[in-house]
């Protein structure tokens, strides 16, 4: 039976300096592949703006209130943070949402046997 949840969804907006988007993308993909394996992380999607390829959005969906802090202690997050520091054209902005739909954890989770890359 599905359990209802209201997961924390964090959208992190990143504006990169011209010429750094490819390096930012690669660093963010490395981070996402590992972040998606964290027990507290339901999703960790990486999006690139179609109108402005220097703009990215990380869509982070957390299963527990403790999961965002746990994510920030991982080696892959710290490596990403240090790698992209020089690529940022402006400070990152985060926006926090409650996920209303889907209303179940399994609606947010990557399918158990899904290939992600």
Distance in Å, CB of 85 to a second copy, minimum? 20
9 neighbors 59 (Cβ within 8 angstroms): yes
Residue 36 Cβ vs a second copy, minimum distance, rounded to whole Å: 8
Q: Which stretch binds a second copy (CB under 8 A): 14-22, 66-74, 82-90, 107-115?
A: 107-115
- How far apart are alpha carbons 83 and 102 in whole angstroms? 34
CB of 88 to a second copy, least distance (A): 18
Binding mask 58-77 vs a second copy (x if CB under 8 A, - otherwise)? -x------------------
Q: Is the peptide bond before 6 cis (omega within 30 degrees of 0)?
A: no
Rounded-to-integer distance, Cα 67 and Cα 93, Å: 19
Burial label for 16, CB within 10 Å (0-12, 13-18, 19+), is buried
> What residue ranges bind a second copy (CB under 8 A)?
1-2, 8-9, 11, 25, 28-29, 32-33, 36, 44-51, 57, 59, 95-104, 106-107, 109-112, 114-117
């Amino acid at each position: 039976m599905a359990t209802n949840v209201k997961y924390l969804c964090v959208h992190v907006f990143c504006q990169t300096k011209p010429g750094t988007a490819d390096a930012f993308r690669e660093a963010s993909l490395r981070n996402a592949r590992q972040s998606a394996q964290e027990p507290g992380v339901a999703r960790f999607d990486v999006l690139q703006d179609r109108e402005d390829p220097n703009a990215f959005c990380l869509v982070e969906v957390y299963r527990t209130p403790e999961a965002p802090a746990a994510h920030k202690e991982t080696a892959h997050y710290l490596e990403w943070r240090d790698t992209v520091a020089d690529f940022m054209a402006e400070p990152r902005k985060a926006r926090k949402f409650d996920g209303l739909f889907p209303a179940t954890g399994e609606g947010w989770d990557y399918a158990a046997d899904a290939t992600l890359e």
